[in-house]
Amino acid sequence: MHELGIAESALELALTQAHSAGASRVLRIVIRVGALSGVDAEALRFAFTVILPGTAAEGATLQIDPVAAIAYCPACQKDFFPDTDHFFECPTCGQLCATVKQGRELDLVRLEML
């Protein structure tokens, strides 16, 4: 489960930021997870429950904000929501499109600290 490694990296970053800000506790961690990131949000949530105890983020709320995938068709010059993870067929003209504008995100976007 690579979500454990992701959770560990995010927690390390959160704790580093909290320490730099002079905070003693992390109350909330907000992460954006794109539909095409390859990250299972529930597995990530579970990984956090395993690693938070005993840290300055123990008891912190994890907020996972999903980000929908959006692809772009250069022929139609339109954005669309793709149906698959690998090849995106434009629903307007049928052309295969490889330009992903959104959906690969995996970002630590906000911390609430005390």
At 51-102, the pLDDT tens digits run 999 999 999 999 999 999 999 999 999 999 998 656 789 999 999 998 999 9
Backbone angles phi, psi at 69, to 5 degrees: -80, 140
Domain count, the chain: 1
pTM over 0.95: no
The partner residues of 100 in beta bridges, in order of sequence, read 71
102: domain range? 2-113
Give the pLDDT score at 85: 59
Provide the 8-state DSSP code for 52: S
Other Cβ atoms closer than 10 A to 3? 19
Structure tokens at 108: 């630590």
Burial class (CB in 10 A: 0-12, 13-18, 19+), 77: exposed
**DSSP per position, 64-76:** EEEE--EEEETTT
Q: What does the DSSP 8-state code read for residue 55? A: S
CATH number of residue 15's parent domain? 3.30.2320.80
